[in-house]
Chain A
Amino acid sequence: MLSLVEFILVGLVLTNLVLLGTSRIGLCIRMVAFQGVGLALLPLLGHGEFELSSLVISGATALLKGWAFPTLLFRSLESAHVRAEVEPYVGYSNSLLFGVAALGVSVWLGGRMPVPGPGVPQLLTPVAFFTILVGLFGIVTRRKAVSQVVSYLVLENGIFAFGAVALRKAQLLVEMGILLDVFVAVFVMGIAIFRINREFDHIDADRLASLKE
């Protein structure tokens, strides 16, 4: 079972690299959906025995991250008539190089942290850190509001990865609460993107700085 968890974690790293290196927002949304479904399997695999609570978490996560979020995001993408990220603050090759550096830093950080418990794969802490860093990086460097929402979801995926395997006790309530929060956040952001697009004919977040009455 452990090797399957590691497989998912390596997949998480690869999708992160794709997210850093592509300009297609549609592809980014699909990658985040993949991450979400992969992560949804983690609570099932992390424990060894199947419990009802972990089954509920997995189902809810897969449904929300694999279906609801992509549908919402694709809808706001369509309403905004955006296909690709144009000129992010940091170029794609540089983003990928940042990714490699961030991975190195996360491995170093993860090596200094104690592993949360027995049976937790060593890879977990670095990959969770890496995913969080990539999400932060995306929020800071991408211009389009949709890409920023996608990056926010990546950030949340990182936190989820950390929690899914590391925290074992009383996690149902916590995870469900987080999932609900994220759902509401994405919902609100989708509406906000729609409104921004209707008012300004674009969703470039940096151009909203000169907002006037």
Chain B
Amino acid sequence: MHLDALWRILAGLVLCPLLFGVINRVKAKFAGRQGQPLLQTYFDLAKLLRKGAVYSATSSWVFPLGPMLGLACALAALCLAPLGGQPGLFSFEGDLFLFAGLLSLGRFATAAAALDTGSSFEGMGASREMQFAVPAELAQILGLAALAQATGTYSLAGMLALLDMAHWTAAGPVLALTATALFLVLLAETCRIPVDDPTTHLELTMIHEVMVLDHSGPDFAFILYGQGIKLWALGAVLTGLVIPARGDALLDPAFGALGIFGLALAIGIAESSMARLRLLLVPRLLVGATALSGLALILLLR
């Protein structure tokens, strides 16, 4: 257990809603609007937490469990995610599988809660989410396995701390492939364009938003906050890969955090410059991500 990681976790907990503000601000600038305040997500969370939750009479205990389990999984994943190559709260050999597993457990909880409402509409969203999760998870595991092969260690913090300039000059193309694959996985996991449009309320194309339609009040706040934490944790791993580590305990996390906000900027630019893909094309994109990380792994294994 790394107690010095507490302030890094704290930074993630406090700053992650700001990521949505940055993304929204970039999109607003591209559209020529002024946009909502940067801190809007904080206001939303505070408003939602003050409200009461409404539960349908047909739903069971699974329904309120979904958001709680989802948030718990995201928090646990955040505790594992290293920021700028410095370890998270916990770090051990093989924690990359736990990291991926926690994210999919959170997804399972959300999907189960969506199914529990008995609405066929939400079932449709859950089915889509799970369908896209299959190739996304494969791409993520293969990508992390490629990183493990490149560095020779199976802990997230260990491999990201070892990825320095020397690795990038020696195996630059392979690491770039992995980073691209992990970026596509991040877009799919956090429901951003081109996989899913977080602002859409067009019934036919919604994926994640469909599943959380019936949640209200604190439950919805949990889901919103969990999304933010998930974005932060995945972004931390991705920026840890992209920004070469120098082993500085103070500067590296600062650069990592800056990198995550740069990532939010990149997501905002991607969201304003392209439309979401047709539903049929999404699996193809994610299988493409799988192919990229599989290619990286094969290139390293040879």
By a beta-carbon cutoff of 8 Å, the part of chain A in contact with chain B is 6-7, 10, 13-14, 17, 21, 92-93, 96-97, 99-100, 103-104, 107, 110-111, 122-123, 126
Interface of B is mostly: helix
Could you say which interface size class chain B belongs to? Answer: 10 to 19
CB < 8 Å: which of A14, A93, A126 contacts B287? A93
Is B302's CB within 8 Å of the partner chain A? yes
Which of A7, A21, A93, A103 interacts with B173 by CB under 8 Å? A7
Which of chain A's residues have a CB closer than 8 A to the CB of B173? 6-7, 10
Whether A126 touches B302, Cβ cut-off 8 Å, given contacts A13-B295, A100-B294, is yes
Provide the bound-state CA to CA distance between A10 and B302, in Å: 14
Instruction: Check if A107 sits within 8 Å of B291, measured CB to CB.
Output: no
Name 9 A/B residue pairs within 8 A (Cβ), A-sorted.
A6-B173, A7-B173, A13-B295, A17-B295, A97-B290, A107-B302, A110-B302, A111-B302, A122-B302
Residues of B within 8 A of A (CB): 173-174, 177, 283-284, 287-288, 290-292, 294-295, 298-299, 301-302
* A96, B288: Cβ atoms closer than 8 Å: yes
- A100 to B111 alpha-carbon distance, docked (Å): 30
Residues of B within 8 A of A100 (CB): 290-291, 294-295
Chain A interface, DSSP helix/strand/loop, else mixed: helix
B172 to chain A, nearest CB (A): 8
Task: Tally the A-B contacts, defined by beta carbons under 8 Å.
Answer: 48
For the complex with contacts A21-B284, A97-B291, 11 further pairs of A-B residues with Cβ separation under 8 Å are A10-B174, A17-B295, A21-B287, A92-B284, A93-B283, A96-B287, A100-B291, A100-B295, A103-B294, A107-B298, A122-B302
Question: Inside 8 A of B292's CB, which chain A residues have their CB?
Answer: 14, 17
Chain A residues, Cβ within 8 Å of B295: 13-14, 17, 100, 103
Alpha-carbon separation in the docked complex, A153 to B171 (Å): 30
Q: A6-B173, A10-B173, A93-B283 in contact; A104/B298 too (CB < 8 A)?
A: yes
- When chains A and B are docked, how far (Å) is the Cα of A97 from the Cα of B283? 12
| Cα-based distance from A93 to B291 in the complex (angstroms) | 10
Q: Is the CB of B288 within 8 A of A17?
A: yes
**Which residues on B sit within 8 Å (CB–CB) of A7?**
173
Instruction: Kindly report which residue of chain B lies nearest to residue A110, judged by CB atoms.
Output: B302
B299/A99 in contact, CB under 8 A = no
Q: Of residues A7, A10, A122, A126, which shows the largest number of chain B Cβ atoms within 10 Å of its Cβ? A: A10
Given the complex of chains A and B, what is the CA–CA distance between A111 and B295 in angstroms? 16
Contacts A93-B283, A100-B295 given; does A21 touch B288 at CB 8 Å: yes
User: How far does the alpha carbon of A13 sit from the alpha carbon of B176 in the complex, in Å?
Assistant: 14
Q: Which of B284, B291, B302 has the most CB of A within 10 A?
A: B291
| A7–B176 CA distance with the chains assembled, in angstroms | 12
